[in-house]
């Protein structure tokens, strides 16, 4: 599946989120890869991300939507894993405060559950699993982690999700305080995508 200089690899994202498309495009800049949203996604049968692991959700989604096109499909699943909370919010990160809740609602719920926890108990990591499939077959499943510490109050106005409370010791800032370029270089999604590109373009 390696792309050649004269024929970039075309990959469709199994999402309607244009912000996620822009993030992937930024991460693939300078690479022989064309990233775009899967056309008519809303008209296709949906995929229920109900598995217990990020890998099952990502691979299942990529395989599901790859059956409706001859092009490669990329899907990811990611979330915040907090050992002191028995791994929560985990695969439920996007829905942790209920459907329709805001990012602030979700991270405030985590902060409330972390109340009174100190030191090592505040360690957490972001997990991302990216899967690529074509014509119903998985071609690659790649994962990566970003290790950090949960603050007691949010900091920064960038990013999304739990970024404002996720302090990244290597750079001394939260993910919400990083530039897009910095986050793409160090985040769980950025690391997983770098590994994926290395595999697909080798």
Looking at residue 18, what is its pLDDT? 80
The catalytic site residues sit at 77
φ/ψ of residue 7, rounded to 5: -140, 85
Ranges of residues in the chain whose predicted pLDDT is under 70: 1-6
Considering the entire predicted model, what is its pTM?
0.90
Q: Whole-angstrom Cα distance, residue 87 to residue 83?
A: 5
Residue-wise DSSP of 95-128 = GTT-TT--HHHHHHHHHHHTTT--GGGGEEEEEE
Per-domain residue ranges of the chain = 9-200
Please tell us whether the domain made up of 9-200 is placed in CATH 3.90.950.10: yes
């Amino acid at each position: 599946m390696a792309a050649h200089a004269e024929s970039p690899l075309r990959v469709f994202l199994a999402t309607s989120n244009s912000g996620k498309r822009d993030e992937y495009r930024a991460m693939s800049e300078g690479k022989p890869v064309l990233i775009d949203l899967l056309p008519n996604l809303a008209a296709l049968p949906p995929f229920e991300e109900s598995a217990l692991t990020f890998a099952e959700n990502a691979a299942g989604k990529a395989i599901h939507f790859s059956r409706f096109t001859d092009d490669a499909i990329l899907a990811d699943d990611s979330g915040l894993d907090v050992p002191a909370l028995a791994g929560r919010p985990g695969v439920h990160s996007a829905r942790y405060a209920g459907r329709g809740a805001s990012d602030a609602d979700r991270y405030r719920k985590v902060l409330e559950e972390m109340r009174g926890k100190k030191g090592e108990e505040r360690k957490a990591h972001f997990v991302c699993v990216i899967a690529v499939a074509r014509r119903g077959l998985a071609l690659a499943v790649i994962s990566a982690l970003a290790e950090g510490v949960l603050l007691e109050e949010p900091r920064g106005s960038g990013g999304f999700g739990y970024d404002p409370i996720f302090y990244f010791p290597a750079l001394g800032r939260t993910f919400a305080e990083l530039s897009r370029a910095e986050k793409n270089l160090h985040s769980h999604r950025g690391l997983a995508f770098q590994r994926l590109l290395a595999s697909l373009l080798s």
